[in-house]
Structure formats: C-alpha cells, structure tokens
Amino acid sequence: MFTGLVTDVGEVLSVEERAEGLRQLTIACIFDPATIAIGASICCAGVCMTAVATGTSGGRGTFCVDAAAETLRLTTVGRWRKGTRVNLERSLKIGDELGGHLVSGHVDGLAELIAREDLTDMAKLTLRVPKPLARFIAQKGSVALDGVSLTVNEVNDDTFSVLIIPHTLAVTTLGALKPGDSINLEVDVMARYAARLMEAR
C-alpha cells in the first residue's frame, strides 16, 4: 500500500526486452539502493512494481523492475523510454503518517488530460475517464493520478477536474502534463468496494 505522496521523481535509464511480452526497466532514484530489498514494492507513476535488482549509476541509486504484457497494455509503462520521468513512492510502513489516501498501485485505467488552465500559483487539470470508471469518481473524493493523491474538484459525467498546488507541480511529473497526455488512474478503493456492495444487493 501507498499514500500517493511522491518522494522522488525517478528517471528511466534503460528499457530492455526480455521474454515475449516482458520488459525490464532500470530506474534511477535518490533512494539508497542498500535500503531497497529485492522483492520490495515501489510505486512507479502509480503502478505497483517489484524491485528485482538494485545498483548505482552516475552517483545515483538504481533499481530494476519487470513489466509484463498486461502492465504494458493497460498503463503508461508500455510507453516509457530512456529519459522518461516517473513519480516514485516507497511502500507504506506501519506507523508512517498517512498524509494522502490509501493507494494500492493497481491502475484502473488511463485518464486523458483534455484541458489545462494555469492559474495564479496553481493549475486546473480537466480529465476524461473511461465510462465504466466514471461512477467511482465523486466531488471531494480521492483519486491517484500517476501515483499522486489528489482531491476531486468538479465532476461532470465522464470528466473531472483537480487543482494542483505549486508544491505538487514542482516535485512531481504533473507539472509537465499537456492536453492529450494519458495518465495512470486509480480510483479510491473505498468507492470501488461501496459500488460492489450496492451491486451485491
């Protein structure tokens, strides 16, 4: 589990094709590689991925992750190339401050940025989501976009908007987004379970 509070913006150093439908990515980060256990979960742009190797490169720590066919197809991971910047978060430890909301790192789908309005000291992003996911998004509810915990501002059918404060624009990849970009979306897990309970009735 994660909180949606990004602690580093990593950089993809290499993308290597392995077995059919499998890619290994090496990502540079500020994390001390000695503290990354093999098998540990790291949220990469909202996708929970497993560290399979660690090392150093150019004075930075690195870790490797494997991305299987489904991850490559359903998330933005399939589009990552050398130089791609990705939001990173280590997994939540018992006793850590829960400053965002509970994020599983299981991407529900891709949202498309359809409009960006740069305001004084912040930005308003308007996104369109796949129709089946729209019912899980509520005004004042939570979503994770590329791993960033955000509060929904407005909802209109299959679109919603969020306001991004200067700090978030500066320390995540959200500041570089432009209309037409696809973003990994995870809906609030509580909204998903609430909907399932209603269906079960």
Note if 68 is an active site residue: yes
Note if 48 is an active site residue: yes
Note if 106 is an active site residue: yes
Note if 50 is an active site residue: yes
Q: Which of 19, 69, 151, 170 is catalytic?
A: 151
Find tokens 């978030």 and name the residue. Answer: 168
Rounded to a whole number of angstroms, the distance between the first and last alpha carbons of the chain is: 29
Could you tell me if residue 153 is left (phi over 0), alpha (psi between -120 and 50 degrees) or otherwise beta? Answer: alpha
Q: Which of 106, 170, 176, 195 is catalytic?
A: 106
Q: Which of 19, 50, 69, 170 is catalytic?
A: 50
Q: Which of 28, 48, 64, 144 is catalytic?
A: 48
CA distances in angstroms from 52 to 25, 39, 74, 135, 162, listed in the order given:
10, 6, 21, 36, 34
Question: How big is the chain by its Cα radius of gyration, in Å?
Answer: 17
Amino acid in position 76: T
Rounded distance, CA 9 to CA 185, Å?
Answer: 18
Q: Which of 3, 26, 41, 126 is catalytic?
A: 41
Note if 2 is an active site residue: yes
Q: Which of 19, 68, 115, 194 is catalytic?
A: 68
Q: Which residues are catalytic?
A: 2, 41, 48, 50, 68, 106, 151
